[in-house]
Amino acid sequence: MAVRLKDMLKREPILSSGHRMCAGCAAPTVVKLMGMALRGPTIVCEATGCLEVATTIYPFTAWKIPWIHVAFENAAAVASGVVEAINAMRDKGRYKDEQVDVIAIGGDGGTFDIGFGALSGALERGHKFVYMVYDNGAYQNTGIQRSGGTFPGQETTTSWAGKVEPGKRQRKKPLAEIVAAHKIPYVATVDPYHYRDFITKFRKALEADGPAFIHAFSPCPRGWRSDTSKSIELAKLAVETGLHPLYEVIDGKEWIMSGPSKRLKELRPVDEYFKTQGQFKHLFKPEWAEFRAWIQEEVLKDWEELKRKCGVS
Amino acid sequence: MPKRIMFTMGDIACAEGAISAGCRYFGGYPITPATEIAEWMARRMPEVGGAYVQYEDEIASITSVIGASWTGTKAMTATSGPGVSLMMEAVGLAVMTETPLVLVNIMRGGPSTGQPTRGQQGDVMQAKWGSHGDYQIIALTPASVQEMFDETIRAFNLSERYRVPVFLLADETVGHMRERLVIPDEKDIKLEYRKLPTVDPSEYLPFKPDDDLVPPMALLGTKYQFYATGLTHDERGYPSDKEEVQIELITRLNNKILKNADKIVEVEEFMLDDAEIAVIAYGTPSRSAKRAIKDVRQEGIRAGLLRLKTVWPFPERHVVDLATKVKQIIVAEQNLGQIYYMVKAAASPTPVHLMTKPAGMPQLPQEIVQMIREVHSS
């Protein structure tokens, strides 16, 4: 699907303005981009999270397509039920639409952590649906607690930075890789800056013959303590520093690096990314220089490994 | 630590109470309105040589607490509505394995996601009946920031003494209100610890109770060999499908709480001496009730308050006694009536009136005044 800006702007947005998301939050942009990739009737099943709570409360209810809030841990399971019930109804001739797409959405907490079991189960069973995680790097909705999606060095209210701790010490869970290991038809990482890449991939996900997974990077000025006008730039920077490389994985075996990542001659230093956010400020203290260097090393190692998988030299 | 004074919120007072009680392990997971407890513990645990670990969900956080408790560490978790629901299987496991632990539930509006930032007292029956099977737990209901501290310590002491999960059931208002907190000198805090076995390891029977119906608890990694299992087990800890083993075990697990109820239950009696009308309340509504009682006494209505600081085991004896002294009872709860049914059964034939409020704002003093007036004139 070729994406042209002119065509995109003609699409009716699936999320209206006037919702209650924070200033500068990238999640509504992520959802609007998703909306531009839709091919017809679509149902959204959404886990508890910022996006759920802030886009639905009356009178700020913003969704223009059928939408169901599920609990925190089960977006993929509810979507499974929706898909299979529609199939059953269609077989009986009681469902008219030939084509209904089902999308499950969760934040990083609802996907990397509490919803992971439900996600893995749905992928194994092979329902035809798309799961999209909007990853803002922490439980931002409850007030910025660390999650499996939190980067090392990130300070949150349950991974404090101080004299003895540099924020979160652990690596970020390699979720897209874990999902790809289920050998589902389609996995892709996206970000809202590279909108053509985003929409093209989302459409591929919808057209995949089986479960598909989209990992969307979503800057959060409130939690990250970053400038509200810089969110889309931060998404770009995350790609350029290798913190959120863009790629696709087909059937769990064919790894394809996407243009914006592939075109990078070399990665920019992670320091450039860290400097833009209050949540990494402490890393520039002398006592964390070594830890910061370790993060950089790990990012470079992961980058080399990804290039090898994608056959990029 | 010497005596300290803080001006702080109930959630933080609870976390400080746990630290003063000797809690050194917190299995956390964020959820409004209990998150502040996790955040405070994440900061404080490293300072006191304990561990804060955040899990991938509430099922993992409470079961990690069970594991931690068996090492001999005092351990807790804190959550709310949906999190408690996920933890319920583990509550049964802790009951069956007789694992001391404290589960803080900062009650929010339910069911389901409900109203995360608003209070309710909708989980009172869940605490007692939420896991499957016949069992008893202990549940305490603090009504102030100071009590969030004090009752958390009491929760740990009771859980250690009876080897049972203890709920701290605080409505969101208590969890989030800010008040003065006095943290006593550590010398003045009475702490209890589980009974450890003293017999030779060859004679140790891990689930053979003493006269108080509580067995001494061996710890993981000590010289005592034992199994702890959620299956019905005999005194040796071995699973059994025999009828008599099931009956003996669950009867004891229930009786160790019910027969010790007088040592567990605490209530506050307020202006009850000459009262004709008694209000029964706990948590935030009990504060409105106090104000209301003072007000109606100005009008010559003799009213008083029985404030439940313990809801499980249910303070049956206190309610039975009360019912013989007063003419009418009003139960004011921030729900559609839960403890009401317990009170009604215990107080019969004294009339019991229910005053409900299943929402974030508790019964206001003037609303309780109105209710007392109506009951008085009826």
Q: Which residue has the tokens 């010790």?
A: B260
Whether A170 has its CB under 8 Å from any CB of chain B: the answer is no
pLDDT in tens, A277-310: 999 999 999 999 999 999 999 999 999 999 999 9
Average pLDDT over residues B112-122: 96
Q: In 3D, which of A80, A185, A178, A89 has the Cα closest to residue A129?
A: A80
**Can you tell me the distance from the alpha carbon of B293 to that of B315, in angstroms, rounded to the nearest whole number?**
21
Q: Which residue of B has its CA nearest to A140?
A: B30
B147 pLDDT exceeds 80? yes
pLDDT in tens, A5-49: 788 788 899 999 999 999 999 999 999 999 999 999 999 999 999
Number of other CB atoms surrounding residue B364 within 10 Å = 14
CA quadruple B106, B107, B111, B113: dihedral, nearest 10:
-40
Q: Which residue of A has its CA nearest to B81?
A: A71
Number of other CB atoms surrounding residue B25 within 10 Å = 23
Q: Look up residue A73 and give its DSSP letter.
A: S
Average pLDDT over residues A148-154: 98
Average pLDDT over residues B256-278: 98
pLDDT attached to residue A313: 84
Amino acid in the structure at residue B372: I
Average pLDDT over residues A109-118: 98
Whether A120 has its CB under 8 Å from any CB of chain B: the answer is no
> Taking CB atoms and an 8 Å cutoff, what residues of chain B touch A51?
none
Give the H/E segment covering residue B257. Answer: helix B243-258
Q: Under an 8 A CB cutoff, do B56 and A114 touch?
A: yes
Q: Which residue of A has its CA nearest to B32?
A: A142
pLDDT exceeding 70 applies to what percent of chain A? 99
> Cα dist. B84→A63, A80, B122 in Å?
30, 25, 12
Q: Under an 8 A CB cutoff, do A114 and B30 touch?
A: no
The CATH classification number of A5-310 equals: 3.40.50.970
Beta-bridge partner residues of A250: A186, A254
Backbone angles phi, psi at B149, to 5 degrees: -75, -55
Average pLDDT over residues A59-70: 95
Nearest by CB to B56, which of A113, A145, A164?
Answer: A113
Whether A142 has its CB under 8 Å from any CB of chain B: the answer is yes
Please report the number of interchain residue pairs, chain A to chain B, with beta-carbon separation below 8 angstroms: 52
Average pLDDT over residues A113-142: 98
> Cα dist. B93→A294, B135, B211, B365 in Å?
41, 11, 23, 41
Q: Under an 8 A CB cutoff, do B28 and A158 touch?
A: yes
pLDDT attached to residue A98: 82
Q: Under an 8 A CB cutoff, do B42 and A158 touch?
A: yes
Q: Under an 8 A CB cutoff, do B113 and A158 touch?
A: no
The SS3 assignment for A309 reads helix
Q: Which residue of A has its CA nearest to B52?
A: A158
Q: Under an 8 A CB cutoff, do A143 and B113 touch?
A: no
Q: Which residue of A has its CA nearest to B38?
A: A158
Query: Could you tell me the domains of chain B?
Result: 4-188 (3.40.50.970), 268-377 (3.40.50.920)
Lowest-pLDDT choice from A7-21, A122-136, A244-258, B63-77: A7-21
Whether A48 has its CB under 8 Å from any CB of chain B: the answer is yes
> Taking CB atoms and an 8 Å cutoff, what residues of chain A touch B55?
113
Q: Which residue of A has its CA nearest to B43?
A: A160
B148 pLDDT exceeds 80? yes
Beta-bridge partner residues of A68: A45
Mean pLDDT of chain B: 97
Mean pLDDT of chain A: 96
Q: Domains of chain A: which residue ranges? A: 5-310
> Cα dist. A137→A133, A145, A171, B341 in Å?
11, 9, 12, 46
> Taking CB atoms and an 8 Å cutoff, what residues of chain B touch A165?
46
pLDDT attached to residue A3: 72
Whether A159 has its CB under 8 Å from any CB of chain B: the answer is yes
Give how far B2 is from chain A: nearest CA, Å. 24
| DSSP string of B68-122, one letter each residue | HHHTT-EEEEEE-HHHHHHHHHHHHHHHHHT--EEEEEEEEE-STT-EEEEE--T
> Taking CB atoms and an 8 Å cutoff, what residues of chain A touch B42?
157-160
**Can you tell me the distance from the alpha carbon of A222 to that of A24, in angstroms, rounded to the nearest whole number?**
8
Give how far A168 is from chain B: nearest CA, Å. 11
pLDDT exceeding 90 applies to what percent of chain B? 99
Per-residue confidence band for B235, with pLDDT thresholds at 50, 70 and 90: very high
Candidates A46, A57, A158, partner chain B, best to mutate (most B CBs within 10 A): A158
Nearest by CB to A158, which of B39, B57, B82?
Answer: B39
Give how far A113 is from chain B: nearest CA, Å. 4
Average pLDDT over residues A58-63: 92
> Taking CB atoms and an 8 Å cutoff, what residues of chain B touch A160?
42-43
Average pLDDT over residues B169-178: 98
| Contact present, B336 and B356 (Cβ < 8 Å) | yes
pLDDT in tens, A232-243: 999 999 999 999
> Taking CB atoms and an 8 Å cutoff, what residues of chain A touch B38?
145, 158
Q: Which pairing describes strands A101-107 and A42-46: parallel, antiparallel, or unpaired?
A: parallel
Nearest by CB to A143, which of B35, B52, B82?
Answer: B35
pLDDT attached to residue A213: 98
Beta-bridge partner residues of B267: B308
Q: Under an 8 A CB cutoff, do B32 and A159 touch?
A: no
pLDDT in tens, B276-293: 999 999 999 999 999 999
pLDDT in tens, A94-113: 988 888 999 999 999 999 99
pLDDT in tens, B62-89: 999 999 999 999 999 999 999 999 999 9
pLDDT attached to residue A6: 82
A311: left (phi over 0), alpha (psi -120 to 50) or beta: left
Per-residue confidence band for A1, with pLDDT thresholds at 50, 70 and 90: low
| DSSP string of B318-339, one letter each residue | HHHHHHHH-SEEEEE-SSSSSH
Whether A155 has its CB under 8 Å from any CB of chain B: the answer is no
> Taking CB atoms and an 8 Å cutoff, what residues of chain A touch B52?
158
> Taking CB atoms and an 8 Å cutoff, what residues of chain B touch A48?
82, 113
Whether A56 has its CB under 8 Å from any CB of chain B: the answer is no
Number of other CB atoms surrounding residue B128 within 10 Å = 20
